[in-house]
C-alpha cells in the first residue's frame, strides 16, 4: 500500500511539469528557428574545419603541418534563435531577435554556447531602428550565394569581409520602394566568441564609438531567382579612431598593467596616448542574369561581386590577418596601420529547382611596408590569401539540405623562414547535412 501512495504522490509532483512539457511560452508572439548542421571533411594539411591558413610548403626542411592531412567532423555550427514580436511603441512595430551557436571556446568537441545576435527593432512605415548586437554594416553582402558561403565552408580566410558582430545603434530610412539609407554608431568593443570589432578593447586600446553607413538599391523589376537574388547595388563604410594608451619599457611599447602598484606608478609618470585612423569602404552587387520562371529556379543564373579597401580595421572577420590589420609603432614614435583590400566574384547556377552549383573566387591582401615586414615575428603574417571554392547544394525540401564543397586555398607570407617556402597551398573537402527549423 505504501508503494501505491508513493506513486500517487509522484504523479502529483509531475502534473505541473507535464502541463508545460513541449511548450514555449511568451507574453508576446514567439517564433523559434535555427538549424542543425553535421559536417564531415578532410584537409590535405593539419587543419580543422575553418579559419586556418595554408601552412608554408616544405623546402629543404619538411613542414609537419603541410606534409600530413587531417579528417574532421563537427556539429558546432548548429544554431538556434528566438524572434519575438510584441506590442507597438511610438506608433511602430516592435520585435527582438536572439541567436546563439556552439562556437564558444571549449576543450570538448561539443563546443560552448556563443552569443551571435541580440537586438531589438522598432519598425515604422519608412524607418527602422536597430539597437543591440548584430552584423557590422561594413562588408554587407547580398545574394543567396553569399548566404551559402556562410553555411557550407563557413568563412575561410578570404571569403568574407563582414563576419564580425558588434553592439550598435542604427537608423534605416526607406526613401522609395527600392532605395534604403542606413547610418549609425557601433562600439569598438570586444564581442563574444572571437568575433572582434574594429580596435579591440585590450591592454593597448580603449573603446570609442565609430560611425558607419550604407546605401542600398534593390529591385525585382529585372526578375529574381530567390527573394535574396534581386538586382542589388550597395555601398557601405565606417570611420573611427583607435585610441591607444601605452608606455615605453626598454624601448618597446608595453601594455597597461592593472595591478594597483603599476597604476599608481604610471599615474605619476603618465601614459602615452595616440589616436590612429580606422576606416573602410566596401561595395557589392548582385545580378539575376537568368531569373527564375514561374517559381522554378531550373536554369537560373546569378552573379555577384564585391570589393573593399580598409585601414586598421581590427579583427573584422579575418582572424588570421589580425597582425597585418593592427596599428603599429614606428621607430620615430609615430603610429601607422597597414591597408588591407580584397575582392571576389561569385557565379551560382541552378542545375535544377533544388540543385545549385556555386563557383567562387576570393582574395584578400595586406599592403605591408618593408620595415614592418622586417620586424621579428612579422615574417609569418599572411600578405595575400586566395580562395577557389566549388559548392554543390541540394535542397531535399524546405527543411533538409545537403552540401559538398571543395576549397583550394593559397597563401603568401610576408617574409622568409629558413628551410620553408614563403607560399602554401591547401585543399579541403567537406560534406554538410542541414536541418532547418
Report percent pLDDT > 70 for the chain: 79
Q: Which three cell numbers stand for residue 247?
A: 608606455
Instruction: Name the CATH architecture for the domain at 28-436.
Output: Beta Barrel (2.40)
| Three-state DSSP state, 146 | helix
**What pLDDT score was predicted for residue 21?**
39
Give the model's confidence band at 60: pLDDT under 50 very low, under 70 low, under 90 confident, else very high: confident
Q: Measured between alpha carbons, how far is 61 from 307 in angstroms, rounded to an integer?
A: 38
Ramachandran region, residue 22 (left: φ > 0; alpha: ψ -120 to 50; beta: rest) = left
Strand partners, 206: 243
**What pLDDT score was predicted for residue 48?**
75
Q: Measured between alpha carbons, how far is 174 from 180 in angstroms, rounded to an integer?
A: 4
Burial of 108 (0-12, 13-18, 19+ CB in 10 A): exposed
pLDDT tens, position by position, 92-131: 999 999 999 987 765 555 668 888 899 999 999 999 999 9
CA distances from 224 to 14, 115, 229, 289, 297 (A): 53, 33, 6, 9, 9
pTM for the predicted model, two decimal places: 0.84
In the block, cell 599572411 appears at 382
Q: Measured between alpha carbons, how far is 334 from 315 in angstroms, rounded to an integer?
A: 22
Q: Which three cell numbers stand for residue 238?
A: 565606417
CA distances from 51 to 163, 357, 387 (A): 12, 23, 12
pLDDT tens, position by position, 159-212: 766 657 888 999 999 988 899 999 999 886 554 334 344 444 454 566 678 899
* Range from 270-279, 281-290, 318-327, 416-425 carrying the lowest mean pLDDT: 318-327
**What pLDDT score was predicted for residue 377?**
78
Q: Which three cell numbers stand for residue 244?
A: 591607444
Overall average pLDDT of the 347-363 stretch: 96
Query: Looking at the predicted structure, is the pLDDT value of residue 436 above 90?
Result: yes
Buried (b) or exposed (e) across 116-128, using 16+ Cβ within 10 A? bbbbbbbbeeeeb
The DSSP output letter for 51 is S
Query: Looking at the predicted structure, is the pLDDT value of residue 82 above 60?
Result: yes
**What pLDDT score was predicted for residue 423?**
93
Q: Measured between alpha carbons, how far is 204 from 188 in angstroms, rounded to an integer?
A: 13
* Count of CB atoms situated within 10 Å of the CB of 45: 22
Overall average pLDDT of the 44-52 stretch: 78
**What pLDDT score was predicted for residue 20?**
39
Q: Which residues contact 53 (CB under 8 A, 6 or more apart)?
A: 157, 320, 382, 385, 409, 411, 424, 426
Burial of 161 (0-12, 13-18, 19+ CB in 10 A): buried
Higher pLDDT, 255 or 330: 330
Amino acid at each position: 500500500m505504501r508503494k501505491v501512495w508513493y506513486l500517487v504522490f509522484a504523479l502529483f509532483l509531475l502534473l505541473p511539469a507535464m502541463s508545460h512539457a513541449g511548450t514555449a511560452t511568451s507574453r508576446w508572439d514567439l517564433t523559434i528557428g535555427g538549424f542543425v548542421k553535421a559536417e564531415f571533411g578532410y584537409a590535405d594539411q593539419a587543419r580543422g574545419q575553418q579559419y586556418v591558413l595554408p601552412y608554408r610548403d616544405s623546402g629543404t626542411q619538411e613542414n609537419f603541418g603541410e606534409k600530413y592531412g587531417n579528417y574532421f567532423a563537427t556539429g558546432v555550427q548548429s544554431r538556434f534563435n528566438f524572434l519575438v514580436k510584441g506590442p507597438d511603441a511610438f506608433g511602430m512595430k516592435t520585435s527582438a531577435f536572439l541567436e546563439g551557436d556552439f562556437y564558444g571556446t571549449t576543450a570538448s568537441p561539443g563546443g560552448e554556447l556563443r552569443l551571435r545576435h541580440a537586438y531589438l527593432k522598432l519598425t515604422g512605415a519608412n524607418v527602422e531602428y536597430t539597437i543591440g548586437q548584430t552584423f557590422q554594416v561594413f562588408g554587407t553582402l547580398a545574394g543567396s550565394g553569399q548566404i551559402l558561403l556562410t553555411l557550407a565552408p563557413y568563412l575561410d580566410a578570404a571569403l568574407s569581409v563582414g563576419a564580425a558582430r558588434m553592439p550598435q545603434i542604427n537608423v534605416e530610412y526607406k526613401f522609395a520602394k527600392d532605395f534604403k539609407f542606413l547610418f549609425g554608431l557601433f562600439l569598438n568593443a570586444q564581442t563574444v566568441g572571437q568575433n572582434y570589432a574594429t580596435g579591440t578593447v585590450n591592454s593597448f586600446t580603449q573603446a570609442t564609438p565609430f560611425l558607419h553607413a550604407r546605401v542600398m538599391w534593390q529591385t525585382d523589376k529585372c526578375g529574381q531567382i530567390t527573394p535574396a537574388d534581386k538586382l542589388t547595388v550597395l555601398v557601405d563604410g565606417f570611420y573611427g579612431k583607435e585610441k591607444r594608451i601605452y608606455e615605453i619599457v626598454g624601448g618597446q611599447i608595453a601594455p597597461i598593467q592593472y595591478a594597483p602598484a603599476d597604476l599608481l606608478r604610471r599615474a605619476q609618470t603618465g601614459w602615452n596616448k595616440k589616436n590612429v585612423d580606422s576606416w573602410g569602404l566596401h561595395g557589392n552587387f548582385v545580378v539575376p542574369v537568368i531569373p527564375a520562371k514561374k517559381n522554378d529556379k531550373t536554369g537560373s543564373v546569378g552573379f555577384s561581386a564585391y570589393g573593399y579597401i580598409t585601414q586598421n580595421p581590427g579583427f573584422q572577420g579575418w582572424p588570421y590577418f589580425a597582425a597585418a590589420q593592427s596599428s603599429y609603432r614606428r621607430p620615430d614614435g609615430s603610429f601607422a596601420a597597414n591597408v588591407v583590400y580584397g575582392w571576389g566574384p561569385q557565379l551560382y547556377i541552378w542545375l535544377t529547382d533544388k540543385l545549385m552549383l556555386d563557383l567562387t573566387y576570393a582574395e584578400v591582401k595586406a599592403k605591408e611596408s618593408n620595415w614592418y615586414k622586417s620586424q621579428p615575428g612579422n615574417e609569418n603574417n599572411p600578405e595575400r590569401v586566395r580562395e577557389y571554392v566549388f559548392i554543390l547544394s541540394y535542397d531535399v525540401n524546405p527543411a533538409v539540405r545537403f552540401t559538398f564543397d571543395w576549397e583550394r586555398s593559397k597563401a603568401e607570407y610576408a617574409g622568409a623562414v629558413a628551410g620553408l617556402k614563403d607560399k602554401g597551398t591547401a585543399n579541403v573537402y567537406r560534406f554538410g547535412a542541414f536541418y532547418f527549423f
